[in-house]
Amino acid sequence: MGKTILVTGPDLDPAAERLVTEHGYKTVHTPAYADSAVISEHLEASGAEGIVSRMGRIDAAVMQAAPQLRVISKHGVGVDNIDIEAAAERGIPVLVATGANAVSVAEHAIALMLATVKRLLPLDAGLRAGRWEKAGFSGREIAGSTLGLLGMGAIAQATARFAKGLGLDLVGHDPFAPDSVFEAFDVRRCEHVDDLFAASEILSLHCPLNDQTREILNAAAIARMPGGSHVINTARGGLIDEAALLEGIRSGHLAGAGLDTFASEPPAADHPFFGEPRIVLTPHIGGVTRQAGARVGVEAVRGIFQVLEGQPVPPERIINRKLLAATAATRTNEEG
């Protein structure tokens, strides 16, 4: 077919759809959370030159079945569902929409923090069940607590800005962020991640999921956190050892958690988190707002056409740019 952009998901913001049409292309959509075989089928049938990656994994087999594919653009910033090395080997840039959904996700992180620390859901459930639990209740004031930020990218920065307004003290860890970022948001830098865990009465995760960060919040890390602390995750579920988190809460060492993401999505119907009232759960919708959807969708599509039309792409948006350069250099040496 050609002149097609594949969206791995059932929808795309109308503003992004209009941008596709303006460039003389059309979109084809996969079902939600389609597996690699279904994505491959849609790529082969449509002849799509670009992918807006929303749901489902884009692996080497998908790319192998689509020799016409020239660019993959993430609808957001988390690329753990894309094999970026396989893309680089085929000369396919993988783009991210950096910062486009930062405000929405940061708002959701703050909402999860407040709901969890203030125990809103158990109190609501008790009242609906006929219990008036004021007698003997002792809540917690958030102001003056220490919020730890694991990662200092755009979402963490927006979270820091909101948290300051609530009177929280901020610490952070990010080996790739310059000191100026920490200074701009009055965040005390922790050089080692263990220092961050030890200081965080509330820990909010904002780092990418990769081999270095997978299950970075494990039993040992949880043990370093102060007793009665909370965990908030709006990034990727794989950052957490879920069994260790559950044990930390059941043992009383952790007071609770607010999670917008799971190690496997959607989670199984019998996932043990569902039986723990001290965990507030949402279905990975932190960035799913009308405003963020428009910004992210437009940025994702704009990046695709920048590549297809040979226009410059801001280097910070090409997540595999170093791999692309290394692959190109290797091929040049081999040919030479």
61: domain CATH number is 3.40.50.720
Token pair, residue 284, equals 């990975």
Regarding whether 111 and 197 lie in a shared domain, the answer is: yes
Residue ranges of the alpha helices (H) in the chain? Answer: 14-22, 36-46, 60-64, 84-89, 102-117, 120-128, 154-165, 179-184, 193-199, 219-224, 242-250, 290-308, 321-335
For the stretch 13-55, pLDDT in tens is: 999 999 999 999 999 999 999 999 999 999 999 999 999 999 9
- Residue 5, classed as helix, strand or coil, is strand
Only one residue has tokens 């009308």, namely: 290
Regarding whether 200 and 250 lie in a shared domain, the answer is: yes
For the stretch 141-166, pLDDT in tens is: 999 999 999 999 999 999 999 999 99
- Domain range for 35 is 4-99+290-335
201 is an active site residue? no
- Residue 330, classed as helix, strand or coil, is helix
Regarding whether 268 and 120 lie in a shared domain, the answer is: yes
Regarding whether 265 and 306 lie in a shared domain, the answer is: no
242 is an active site residue? no
Regarding whether 146 and 74 lie in a shared domain, the answer is: no
Catalytic residue among 206, 230, 236, 302: 236
Residue where a domain terminates, one of 263, 281, 299: 281
Regarding whether 124 and 73 lie in a shared domain, the answer is: no
Catalytic residue among 54, 108, 173, 284: 284
Average pLDDT over residues 298-311: 95
278 is an active site residue? no
Total structural domains within the chain: 2
Residue where a domain terminates, one of 260, 281, 302: 281
- What value does the mean pLDDT of the chain take? 94
pLDDT above 90 (res 105): yes
List CB contacts of 6: < 8 A, sequence separation 6 or more. 27, 28, 29, 30, 39, 42, 43, 46, 48, 50, 51, 52
Regarding whether 314 and 179 lie in a shared domain, the answer is: no
For the stretch 254-300, pLDDT in tens is: 999 999 999 999 999 999 999 999 999 999 999 999 999 999 999 99
When pLDDT is cut at 50, 70 and 90, the band that residue 77 belongs to is: confident
Catalytic residue among 265, 271, 276, 321: 265
Regarding whether 125 and 273 lie in a shared domain, the answer is: yes
Distance CA 331, CA 329 (A): 5
Regarding whether 132 and 266 lie in a shared domain, the answer is: yes
Regarding whether 68 and 19 lie in a shared domain, the answer is: yes
Regarding whether 168 and 272 lie in a shared domain, the answer is: yes
Regarding whether 153 and 235 lie in a shared domain, the answer is: yes
| Per-residue pLDDT, 332 | 55
When pLDDT is cut at 50, 70 and 90, the band that residue 222 belongs to is: very high
